[in-house]
Chain A
Amino acid sequence: RKEVEQDPGPFNVPEGATVAFNCTYSNSASQSFFWYRQDCRKEPKLLMSVYSSGNEDGRFTAQLNRASQYISLLIRDSKLSDSATYLCVVKDDYKLSFGAGTTVTVRA
């Protein structure tokens, strides 16, 4: 079983739409969670940390459900520039485990 599993998508949405997707993780003792973004042929970049109480960063909202071991990301008012692969990441000690990514394409 993979440490982090994500729905690969793709999610194809119009500009202005809301899109949401989840990932699940296998290690119930994991403490820290993140979403990274990876544009085509580019390196991953940290999008946001995920806190137990949920958190927002502009149009992005992240939620953590420890009981069910899943993490979600919601993007409101999608922009063309949001088109990317979103990587769910779990940190154990210093090591990051990445999901395979969820691809989002925002169309005009």
Chain B
Amino acid sequence: DTGVSQDPRHKITKRGQNVTFRCDPISEHNRLYWYRQTLGQGPEFLTYFQNEAQLEKSRLLSDRFSAERPKGSFSTLEIQRTEQGDSAMYLCASSPSGRAGEQFFGPGTRLTVL
């Protein structure tokens, strides 16, 4: 299967701890996106990469959040000093160049902050 993969699928952590998630996009896609989804809501845009360049960060992404995409392949999303309000599903998506509307999502990482 050559779809988008995310790791871990579930993460339970205590408030104040740091967590890091990984996303492996579809190999030929140069665009990568991170979203956050809470129960009963649609995904909310967090950040976007074109190749290795991070081109936009949502104002939802506080300074406790950082994302990287070294070498334009996989991406990591780190949350420092987690808070209970960070509990959500974190979704990664990728798309080919020129087709940003056709995003392929990974299965997500469900974060629970106790």
Nearest chain A CB to B22 CB, angstrom units: 16
Of the candidates B55, B100, B104, which one forms a contact with A96 in the assembled complex, judged by CB atoms under 8 Å apart?
B100
Q: Which residues of B contact A95 (CB under 8 A)?
A: 45, 48, 56, 100
Q: Give how many A-B residue pairs fall within 8 Å (CB-CB).
A: 53
Determine whether B31 belongs to the interface, using a CB cutoff of 8 Å to chain A.
yes
Residue count of chain B within 8 Å CB distance of chain A = 22
Cα–Cα, bound, A98→B35 (Å): 10
Find the A residue at minimum CB distance from B105.
Answer: A43
Residue count of chain A within 8 Å CB distance of chain B = 22
Nearest chain A CB to B37 CB, angstrom units: 8
Nearest chain B CB to A17 CB, angstrom units: 25
Cα–Cα, bound, A4→B101 (Å): 15
Q: Which residues of B contact A96 (CB under 8 A)?
A: 33, 43, 45, 100-101, 103
Determine whether A42 belongs to the interface, using a CB cutoff of 8 Å to chain B.
yes
Residues of A with Cβ closer than 8 Å to B?
Answer: 4, 8, 32, 34, 42-46, 49, 87, 89, 91, 93-101
Residues of B with Cβ closer than 8 Å to A?
Answer: 31, 33, 40-45, 48, 50, 55-56, 91, 100-108
